[in-house]
Amino acid sequence: MAEYLIKNGFVFDPVQGIKGDKTDVAIKDGKFVETTAVKNPKVIDATGKTVMAGGVDIHAHVAGAKVNVGRSFRPEDKLFGFKAGRGIERMQGGFSVPTTIKTGYDYARMGYTTVMEAAMPPLYARHTHEEMRDTPILDQGAYPVFGNNWFVLEYLKNHEIENTAAYIAWLLRATKGYAVKVVNPGGTEAWAWGLNCENVHDPVPYFDITPAQIIKGLIEANEYLGLPHSMHMHANNLGNPGNYTTTLDSFKLSEGIKPNNKFGREQVMHHTHVQFHSYGGDSWANVESKAKEIMDYVNSHDNMTIDMGQVTLDETTTMTADGPFEHHLTELNHLKWANVDVELETGSGVVPYVYSPDIKVCAIQWAIGLELALLATDSMRVFLTTDHPNAGPFIRYPRVMKWLMSQESRDQQFDAFKHKDKVIDATNLAGIDRELDLYEIAQMTRAGPAKSLGLAHMYGSLAPGLEADVAVYDFNPNEPYAPDTIETAFSNARHLFKTGVQIINDREIVSNGNKRTLWVNTKVNENAQVMRDVKEKFLRYYTVTLNNYEVSGHYLPNPYVIEVDATQ
């Protein structure tokens, strides 16, 4: 493999504590190495440019059944988003739900190299893997959903942590999944009868269990197994005025639980798209930001991480396994609604949405997301996401960076709101003058998510021994800049390397890379009861046979397996 030396760039690497120093970065055999270890490297001149590890996205909806519903039922999303194939690039289309091919290229253009699909219904795992296979460049993994799974509901009703853990291990293997995802625990099962669970103590119909028991039980099972990532949580009551109390109630369920893993992860709960969970008030008329209350909790509890779910003020396509929420949304905006309930496992919905700067609530949502990041005392635990495509498409990450790094750009946005004064009243953002620097951005987009995922040994830093994923941006941090420069520079990486292969050269995509699918193979003690339960459920209630359920290796042409031994 070719050797490379990226010379003279301003390097930002939180893991190594490098804060914009001029440092050379060397690549050999797909890994970062000491600069002395390369003999005859190809030199990339990064003078006056910013150098960071490849971006790691902890939470995005980029592959699978509901994403494809979003694509196929919104031809209007392709109107302005198409791009003809050129060179090695295949044709691309879509804006808020781009085609798999566009997804790979667009992330690469932003300097991202690893992206996790945030919700995989197990029965649709093959579909998710087929799409990931057809997404170029990126290393990807997918989180199967567990929070409404009948096995989990039944085991946790009796607090059977070991059985839950054995089932999780089995399902991760069967679906080639990466982590334990929970979406509206209990609420989506209730939705199968047109109902919901709106707080952590609302009982799940028939199953005689509460969301609180599900959340706590899954955290415990996750730590019992010692998985690389923590339980990945989307709480009940998403998107409703006054929901911050439900969010805090959900956070508190992690108290007293210590992380148990060999991957350097320090949290036991990752709570995703917290912006959607930080609302005060009791109606859309008086909805207000509770980001401060939320961040007070997060800042003082180091066993959790969160991501933002930043609203980007675009027309987009919402999609989530929170079926009742999507029904609620279609009642609200009267746009088209797709819903799929998945036997024994989960549900989902898809609804287009327009976050208009002329609508007060949308502007408040915009402010809340930024508040979360700006009130964080530890950027290693608060990550940049848009919950793509729910709060906005991922291609807006550089714009979110701009807002985080520049008060001027936030003021400009405030001025563009139709209800500026009401938005200022309902939020705290106007009173925050903090501007993040690139070191903090690197924490929020690289080092932090990699660590939270238990992948700090592979991604998120330029330290020797790690995967050689690195982006070079046309941005000189030592010179004065206009806010828009940030967005332009970080949307168009000058160079990008993925595991040592040059993907972008002079802003041109020159390789489709050698993408890998990450999944977690967990060894557990033999558990006859769980295997008997699995057989029984498949025989009686599933519509595919047990032997046709497991995703075969055929769907993962280039797998990367993370082995976990939980037999002790």
Q: If phi over 0 gives left and psi between -120 and 50 gives alpha, with beta otherwise, what is residue 205?
A: beta
Nearer to other proteins, 206 or 302 (CB): 206
Nearer to other proteins, 488 or 511 (CB): 511
DSSP per-residue letters across 240-271:
-TTTHHHHHHHHHTTTTPPP--SS----SEEE
By CB under 8 A, name the one of 38, 274, 329, 344 that touches other proteins. 344
557: contact with other proteins by CB under 8 A: no
By CB under 8 A, name the one of 194, 256, 431, 480 that touches other proteins. 194
Half-sphere exposure of 285 (CA within 13 A, CB side): 0
511: contact with other proteins by CB under 8 A: no
From the list 80-88, 255-263, 399-407, 560-568, the region that binds other proteins by CB under 8 A is 80-88
3-state DSSP assignment of residue 236: coil
Q: Are 328 and 188 in contact (CB under 8 A)?
A: no
Shortest approach of other proteins to residue 524 CB, angstroms? 25
Nearer to other proteins, 39 or 540 (CB): 540
Sign of CA dihedral 443, 230, 241, 356: positive
Nearer to other proteins, 131 or 314 (CB): 131
Cβ-Cβ contacts under 8 Å for 544 (sequence gap 6 or more): 123, 538
Q: How many CB atoms lie within 10 A of CB 528?
A: 8
Nearer to other proteins, 50 or 140 (CB): 140
By CB under 8 A, name the one of 130, 266, 437, 484 that touches other proteins. 130
DSSP per-residue letters across 296-334:
HHHHH-TTEEEE-----SSEEEEEES-HHHHHHHHHHH-
533: contact with other proteins by CB under 8 A: no
From the list 342-350, 425-433, 488-496, 528-536, the region that binds other proteins by CB under 8 A is 342-350
By CB under 8 A, name the one of 47, 72, 333, 558 that touches other proteins. 72
By CB under 8 A, name the one of 293, 343, 437, 484 that touches other proteins. 343
Shortest approach of other proteins to residue 393 CB, angstroms? 14
162: contact with other proteins by CB under 8 A: no
Count of chain residues binding other proteins (CB under 8 A): 64
| Helical packing angle, 483-491 and 397-405, nearest 10° | 150
554: contact with other proteins by CB under 8 A: yes
By CB under 8 A, name the one of 36, 543, 567, 568 that touches other proteins. 543
73: contact with other proteins by CB under 8 A: yes
By CB under 8 A, name the one of 341, 435, 474, 484 that touches other proteins. 341
| CA separation for the pair 545, 527 (Å, rounded) | 20
Shortest approach of other proteins to residue 184 CB, angstroms? 16
127: contact with other proteins by CB under 8 A: yes
How wide is the angle at C-alpha 317 spanned by C-alphas 312 and 320, nearest 5°? 105
Lookup: tokens for 292: 């401060």
Cβ-Cβ contacts under 8 Å for 315 (sequence gap 6 or more): 95, 96, 352, 353, 354, 355
Q: Are 446 and 55 in contact (CB under 8 A)?
A: yes
Residue written as token pair 């070079």: 472
Nearer to other proteins, 278 or 316 (CB): 316
How wide is the angle at C-alpha 157 spanned by C-alphas 565 and 165, nearest 5°? 5
From the list 7-15, 38-46, 467-475, 551-559, the region that binds other proteins by CB under 8 A is 551-559
142: contact with other proteins by CB under 8 A: no
DSSP per-residue letters across 445-511:
IIIHHHHHTT-TTTSSS--TTSB--EEEES--TTS---HHHHHHHHHS-SEEEETTEEEEETTEE--
545: contact with other proteins by CB under 8 A: yes
Closest CA to 310 of 233, 401, 243, 247: 401
Shortest approach of other proteins to residue 337 CB, angstroms? 4
| CA separation for the pair 315, 362 (Å, rounded) | 11
By CB under 8 A, name the one of 192, 212, 363, 509 that touches other proteins. 192
Q: From residue 82 to residue 121, what is the string marking binding to other proteins with x (rule CB under 8 A)? A: xxxx----xxxxx--xxxxx--------------------
By CB under 8 A, name the one of 19, 78, 157, 419 that touches other proteins. 78
Q: Are 558 and 514 in contact (CB under 8 A)?
A: yes
Shortest approach of other proteins to residue 131 CB, angstroms? 5
Nearer to other proteins, 150 or 481 (CB): 150
126: contact with other proteins by CB under 8 A: yes
208: contact with other proteins by CB under 8 A: no
Q: Are 373 and 342 in contact (CB under 8 A)?
A: no
Nearer to other proteins, 17 or 553 (CB): 553
Stretch 280-339 residues interacting with other proteins (CB under 8 A): 327, 330, 335-339
567: contact with other proteins by CB under 8 A: no
- Residue 564's identity, in one-letter code, is V
Nearer to other proteins, 28 or 127 (CB): 127
513 has which bridge partners?
none
Shortest approach of other proteins to residue 545 CB, angstroms? 5
Going from the C-alpha of 242 to that of each of 117, 143, 521, the distances in angstroms are 29, 28, 40
Stretch 242-271 residues interacting with other proteins (CB under 8 A): none
Cβ-Cβ contacts under 8 Å for 530 (sequence gap 6 or more): 151, 163, 166, 167, 170
340: contact with other proteins by CB under 8 A: yes
462: Cα separation from own chain's centroid: 22
Contact footprint for other proteins (CB under 8 A):
63, 65, 67-68, 71-75, 77-78, 82-85, 90-94, 97-101, 123-124, 126-127, 130-131, 134, 150, 191-194, 206, 327, 330, 335-344, 347, 350-351, 540-545, 547-548, 552, 554-555
